[in-house]
A and B are shown apart, each in its own frame.
Chain A
Amino acid sequence: MNTVAVVEDNADNRLLLQAILDGLYEVVEYENGVDALAGLAAQLPDLVLLDISLPGMDGNEILARIRADDQLRRLPVIALTAHAMAGDREKYLSAGFNDYITKPIVDESLLLSAMEKWIAAGRDGKI
């Protein structure tokens, strides 16, 4: 089973993702950027779901550190955000996120198909 790291400070969102991913992925949860960066380096997942609005180091900064790190830079990273402003998608993709999923999660198949796609890309060395 592939491993997915969820970086999310809100307990309700973590619980929801855990329910959606249950039985499909091994889920490792981090509540903040410092823990996430340490944890990712210690246990490299197959994909990262990264919330943008985090206290302290936000998702954009965590992503920048992932992309600047030799060990982590090829990780597939999907942004999870409730901002959903016009032009956000392009902004996140050009910042180096592989994909972008908006909250609230209404159609879980969008999330799951994006995850499958980017895990496969990561495995095939296409990131």
Chain B
Amino acid sequence: MTSPIISLKNVSLTLESKAGPVEILSGTDLSVSGGQAVGIVGPSGSGKTTMLMVIAGLEPVSSGQVDVVGAEFSSLGEDELARIRGEHIGIVFQSFHLVPTMTALENVALPLEFSGVNGAREIARGCLDDVGLSHRMGHFPAELSGGEQQRVAIARAIAPGPKLLLADEPTGNLDVSTGAQIIDLMFELRARNGLSLVLVTHDEGLAEKCDRVIHMQDGRIVKDQNLLIEAVS
């Protein structure tokens, strides 16, 4: 059996607030194997996005063990985590989070340049071509529609050739038809590149496109559905 690409063991995260400590994640365990697509659903405040940030190495945990793409996060510093993200993890956000002062091409080339990859711009061009934006490469984010911005964000996420793609409500800021196109694109690219995918969404229908759906509530995983097995059975 291959080792999982994501392994969370007894992970808890407590943050201080004005009203006192708030437990965001409590004793969470999760294991995702390579190539698997996992949807995370749950009500607002259930800890979905926080769990995604923990997997991305952007939020340190209070206790427990986090292993992602073969690295144990608690032993790594901020810069090592950044390098791992740059090389192995692509992230897509609801609000796109493109650098507003850079063109679509520059945005996509940026993580490659950070990793010191030669021919970053050529690779970025190819990725933009893959998402159907070869005609918008020189445009700034403000000159692009919401759907186009999200395509740029997806191209940027896959450009370094990551093993893992994380997506936080990627269609949340898009209309239904554009959202559907984006999801199709993401799943197509995931299949083409053999990526693992973790998709946070409110939309259970969207989550069901994944191999597996995890239901969260109050910082805990309350249900773990393996849709492939259910489909086979």
Partners in one complex: no
Residues of chain A at the chain B interface (Cβ within 8 Å): none
Residues of chain B at the chain A interface (Cβ within 8 Å): none
